[in-house]
Amino acid sequence: MRTTHAPRIAIIGAGPGGLTCARILQQHGVTVVVHDRDAGPAARDQGGTLDLHADNGQIALREAGLLEEFFRLARPEGQEMRQMDPSGKLLFHHVPEEGERFKPEIDRGHLRDLLLDSLHPGTVRWGHALKEVGGPADGPRTLHFTHGVTAEADLVIGADGAWSKVRRAISSAAPEYSGVSFLEAWFDDVDNRHPDIAELVGQGGTAAADGERGLFAQRNSGNRIRVYIIQRVPADWLTADGLTPADTDGIRRILLQRYAAWSPRMRRLITDNDGPYVDRPIHALPVPHTWDHSPTVTLLGDAAHLMPPLGVGVNLAMLDACELALALVNTDTIADAVRTYEKTMLPRSAEMARLLDGAATDLLSTELPDFATDQP
């Protein structure tokens, strides 16, 4: 990049996409600052397990110089997949071959730690929740944070997820509810406390559906399992039923009614959890989501192309991050780098978004996809 001063690059969001972009930039000697709203790296649970694919997520980790360390942390056995019917009958079972590494699993928290530990000390500025992006379109941009602090940047990269504040600087699009909602349930010390559920789920994931409701259970590290209870309901269904997320017993009563036709063994996946449920209504950005080029602001990951959670989100985010970082390294100006990046990223994300448009309801279909393949 040719500029009159060292370019001031600000990434908003310390998720996998933002951190991957920062790591690759630093690998090439480019200074970058990451701002994140969390008070610190341990401020909240980072979520469940992720499968990083050889043709996108792993490409980014290779460019970041972290692929072999990733393989040391990853769980290739997590590629095991089972499909069942509501009675618990096994319909499909994929067991990964020895040495299969196309999409091994890693806990989201472990991936984040891997990326955080690879950055220069002080790269991430915690407790910086963005309020808005100001300043002229041709820069410099001014970052306004909720605690009153401001910062200037020549390029602002929005890696701040579904409800991105950076996106508002270049797009009026907002996520829309898909009509499908998840309830997340946790099971701890499963081999000892929940051996039947541990056996049912195996080392990877187990899915089942009846057309209106479904379950997806997934093994995490630390002897934990997370179950996603999938329903076609209004986004505010808990409130409409007079419940709050903290009303665990009340939610269980309703779930037992809705899953009454399922076998007792399958219903244990929705009632034997340790602790409260987590409400996760599924949103997606309009398809396609594009914006007019800005030389000072761009987006990656869910901020650019929020889609249903069907195994592509983190992989696309990390590939976005890799390509944007390399464009910034290899292109004369920031504006040209952003244009080069978006010329590839926007068509790719639009194509995938079209494939997955409305596909959240596929999670409820009795004709579940073959999880052993990489096709949406």
Of 135-139, 204-208, 285-289, 371-375, the one with minimum mean pLDDT is 371-375
Q: How far apart are CA 100 and CA 274, in angstroms?
A: 32
Nearest to 51 by CA among 323, 330, 311, 340: 311
Q: What is the pLDDT of residue 372?
A: 39
Average pLDDT over residues 189-216: 95
Residue 115 pLDDT more than 80? yes
Is 292 in the same domain as 270?
no
Is 164 in the same domain as 29?
yes
Is 98 within the bounds of a domain?
A: no
Q: What is the pLDDT of residue 371?
A: 44
β-partners of residue 133 are 143
Q: What is the pLDDT of residue 351?
A: 95
Is 374 within the bounds of a domain?
A: no
Nearest to 231 by CA among 206, 198, 259: 259
Helix, coil or strand: residue 322: helix
Residue 5 pLDDT more than 70? no
pTM (global) more than 0.85: yes
CA end-to-end distance (rounded Å), the chain: 37
Average pLDDT over residues 181-197: 96
Task: Name the token pair of 34.
Answer: 């990451």
Q: Count of domains in the chain?
A: 2
Average pLDDT over residues 296-301: 98
Residue 368 pLDDT more than 80? no
The reply to whether omega before 288 is within 30° of 0 (cis) is: yes
Average pLDDT, rounded, for the chain: 93
| Proportion of the chain above pLDDT 70, given as a percent | 96
Task: Name the token pair of 27.
Answer: 């690998």
State the amino acid at position 140 in one-letter form.
P
Is 166 in the same domain as 186?
no
Residue 376 pLDDT more than 80? no
pLDDT category of residue 1 using cuts at 50, 70 and 90: low
Is 143 in the same domain as 39?
yes
Q: How far apart are CA 166 and CA 291, in angstroms?
A: 13
Q: What is the pLDDT of residue 177?
A: 96
Cβ-count burial of 108 within 10 angstroms (0-12 exposed, 13-18 middle, 19+ buried)?
middle
In tens, the pLDDT along 321-365 reads 999 999 999 999 999 999 999 999 999 999 999 999 888 888 888
Is 296 in the same domain as 270?
no
Residue 373 pLDDT more than 50? no
Residue 9 pLDDT more than 90? yes
Is 183 in the same domain as 293?
no
Neighbours of 289 (CB within 10 A): 21
Is 233 within the bounds of a domain?
A: yes
Q: What is the pLDDT of residue 257?
A: 95
In tens, the pLDDT along 45-66 reads 778 899 999 999 999 999 999 9
From 283, 317, 352, give the residue that closes a domain: 283
Q: How far apart are CA 348 and CA 362, in angstroms?
A: 22
pLDDT category of residue 232 using cuts at 50, 70 and 90: very high
In tens, the pLDDT along 255-295 reads 999 999 999 999 999 999 999 999 999 999 999 999 999 99
Is 276 within the bounds of a domain?
A: yes
Q: Give the domain extent around 235.
A: 178-283
Q: How far apart are CA 96 and CA 77, in angstroms?
A: 7
Sorted by sequence, the CB contacts under 8 Å of residue 299 that are 6+ apart come out as: 157, 158, 159, 164, 166, 167, 170, 171, 291
Task: Name the token pair of 21.
Answer: 């972009």
Is 16 in the same domain as 68?
yes
CA dist list (Å): 14 to 142, 171, 234: 19, 21, 31
Neighbours of 344 (CB within 10 A): 14
Q: Is the dihedral of CA 346, 352, 356, 358 positive or negative?
A: positive
CATH number for 126: 3.50.50.60
Is 340 within the bounds of a domain?
A: yes
Q: How far apart are CA 161 and CA 165, in angstroms?
A: 9
Q: For the stretch 279-288, what's the b/e string if a residue is b when 16 or more beta carbons lie within 10 angstroms of its beta carbon?
A: bebbbbbebb
Average pLDDT over residues 78-88: 95
Is 30 in the same domain as 64?
yes
Residue 225 pLDDT more than 60? yes
CB 175 within 8 A of CB 277: no
From 257, 283, 309, give the residue that closes a domain: 283
Is 154 in the same domain as 70?
yes
Query: Which DSSP category does 292 fall into?
Result: -
Q: Which residue has the higher pLDDT, 370 or 124?
A: 124
In tens, the pLDDT along 128-175 reads 999 999 999 999 999 999 999 999 999 999 999 999 999 999 999 999
Is 158 in the same domain as 53?
yes
CATH number for 188: 3.30.9.30
Q: How far apart are CA 190 and CA 194, in angstroms?
A: 4
Q: How do 105-107 and 155-158 pair as beta strands?
A: unpaired
From 238, 256, 283, give the residue that closes a domain: 283
Is 69 within the bounds of a domain?
A: yes
Is 253 within the bounds of a domain?
A: yes
Average pLDDT over residues 175-181: 95
Cβ-count burial of 313 within 10 angstroms (0-12 exposed, 13-18 middle, 19+ buried)?
buried
Is 300 in the same domain as 165?
yes
Is 1 within the bounds of a domain?
A: no
Is 27 in the same domain as 170?
yes
Q: CA dihedral in degrees (316, 318, 324, 328; nearest 10)?
A: -170
